[in-house]
A and B are shown apart, each in its own frame.
Chain A
Amino acid sequence: MTTVAATSALRSLAYAIPVVLVLLVLPYIVTPYQRILMSYGLIMAIAALGFNILLGYTGLLSFGHSAYFGLGAYAVAFMVKYLHVTSMELFLLGGLIATLLVTAVFGFICVRYTRIFFAILTMALSQVLWSLAFKFFWVTGGTDGLRIPTPTILNGLVTVPKNKIAFLSHTYYYYVLIVFVVFAALMWVIVHSPFGQVLQAIRDNETRAAFLGVRVRRARWIAFMISGGFTGVAGILWAPLNGLTTPDILYWPFSGEIVFLTVLGGFGTFSGPIIGAVVFNYLKTYAVGLTVYWQLLLGAVLIVLVLALPTGIMGTLTRLTLKIKGASPK
């Protein structure tokens, strides 16, 4: 067992190390705009990794993950507005606590159901938060949203450039990259741990897992909290990068986007959601730049994707490599 896990870990590292190296030198190669774009992509990748522990590993489709992303972002905005906090680390800590508290309650309610009812229940609960953010404008700024200024990093240990673009495209890019690597590694450990195996057992056969002594509902609840926590961290990182948080990120079509990018990358694999998030981010940015009818373009991509490539980018790549490997010895 340990040797299997060890080879699996080594193989994953063999893919991960070159990717991280490229991401490390990226600021010296590409324009600031591209780096900021990549930061958005990496942030969405953290959200997608969190989302996928439910969809890919536990077999639960949440249509309400905008709630946890928005909770992270709004927690940061509230800390700025009401507590005058500027430290990024305090944002992460406070935001994570706030997200986990709400996720624990929402998750406790939602995991009583599976399949379509789970999807609708998560959606309904996320819309409670959206309508509150929308209506309590004197607290949340309503549709105007709340502004988030440039944060301080490591209590001033890292100097923050005065120029906002310089900060976002360099200092903050590395900050996002480090948090991303830490959380991606954490998720890898979680899904390869015995607990991760339990989740997959539940996904494949709930009844059998229950007979084996797995406490199904509790395992789902824990997975839900991990999932919400990761998506919350993404929201926390997103807030200073975007500089403004509005109720849009709590509205249900944003949950649809998270589902979209995960399926785009392929929810059957660990790396799929990461690839999907980065690709989707580029796709959306260029579609928005290209035409005001970008939703039309994305909708068409989504339909073609689910019709023709249901396993997503990673699933299709894996199948192709297997085909090539299988064909070559002959």
Chain B
Amino acid sequence: MELLPIHILNSLLYASTLFLIAGGLSLIYGVMRIVNLAHGSLYALGAYVTAWTIGQLAGGAPPSTLYALLPVGAIAVAAVGAIVEPTLLRPFYQRAEEYQLLVTFGLLLILEDVMRLVWGPYPLSASQPREFLGGSTIFGSQYPNYNLLVIGLGFLVAALLWAFVYRTRFGVILRATSQNMRMASALGVNVKRVYVQAFALGCFMAGLGGAFIVPIQSAVLGMGVDALIIAFVVVVIGGLGSLEGALIGALIVGFVRTLGVILFPEIELAVLYIIAAAVLLIRPIGLFGRA
């Protein structure tokens, strides 16, 4: 039982990265009604870009400056998003969902191989930021300070995002477009621009998730495909399109998974999918979804 605080911290750590991935997925669905199957690969891209940048500069630069490099991955992914939305996704808003799913599936295949092409098949790690911060003793157990930082940053981003969506002018426009795209357009909102911004913001969050996690675990091929399906579980539990839902969903999944690894390791993943299926059955719009 003395490990309990560590388990709780690990759950929070997992939840904070999951929130970044799933929050972006949910935001994109909420505004544009597109389920982005490539979202996990964008998270992986953020991890790769960050690991690569840190790897390039780690030798010369003082370790403390490396933290400034963490957002580089997120910005790169946001830039990719800003290119992808108008070129690939825009032609599909008026078309059936199967085409939207297929085009993002095509994007997933491409992104996975671009990462293989650029960074090769081997894991790419960047542990310097974690090592530099050292660890603290929490209730008699060692815990890396960097992990605590990520937990804090995850919740900080959640708070900033909430303020951004509910307390700024852009947030009002975003919510108006999400509720009724035609009406917003008629009132003078440049819907095309809002879509690009929303998609880039969603991508930024996914990239940030990847950037935060890469000092803890290496960037590997396939991490995006694995992450997407867990992000789906999160948004299904919380409600597609709801940011509060993504936060609660991430916390639920984070704790269930940590608990699962301790108590029922064989079926920990199955339990998550079954929870998602059960939520879909009992409350298809999710715990925080709106009809």
Contacts and interface: CB of A to CB of B under 8 A. Distances in A.
Interface string A289-317: 00011111011111100110010000000
B101 interface: yes
A252 interface: yes
Nearest to B226: A251
Contacts of A293: 113, 116-117
Contacts of B37: 256
Interface residues on B, range: 35 or more
A116 B281 contact: no
B106 A303 contact: yes
B22 interface: no
A128 B102 contact: no
Interface string B270-291: 1001101100110010000000
Contact of B98 (A55, A252, A296): A55
B79 interface: no
B277 A121 contact: yes
Interface stretch (B9-17, B152-160, B228-236, B248-256): B228-236
B107 interface: yes
B35 interface: yes
B128 to A, nearest CB: 30
A117 B285 CA distance: 9
Contacts of A91: none
Given A125-B277, A132-B267, A303-B88, A296 B102 contact: no
Contacts of A300: 106, 110
A146 interface: no
Contacts of A301: 106
How many of chain A's residues touch chain B, expressed as a range? 35 or more
Contacts of B107: 299, 303
Majority SS at the chain B contact face = helix
B97 A61 contact: yes
A128 B274 contact: yes
Nearest to B35: A116
B101 A61 contact: yes
A135 B269 contact: yes
A256 B104 CA distance: 11
B57 interface: no
Interface stretch (A4-12, A107-115, A154-162, A173-181): A107-115
Contacts of B117: 293, 296
Given A117-B280, A256-B108, 19 more contacts: A109-B277, A115-B97, A116-B240, A121-B280, A123-B229, A124-B273, A124-B280, A125-B277, A132-B270, A135-B269, A256-B37, A295-B109, A295-B110, A296-B117, A299-B110, A302-B106, A307-B91, A307-B103, A310-B95
29 contacts: A61-B101, A63-B101, A115-B97, A116-B35, A116-B240, A119-B35, A119-B97, A119-B101, A124-B233, A124-B277, A128-B270, A131-B273, A135-B267, A251-B225, A252-B225, A259-B105, A260-B105, A263-B98, A263-B102, A293-B113, A295-B109, A296-B114, A299-B105, A299-B106, A299-B109, A302-B103, A303-B88, A303-B107, A310-B95
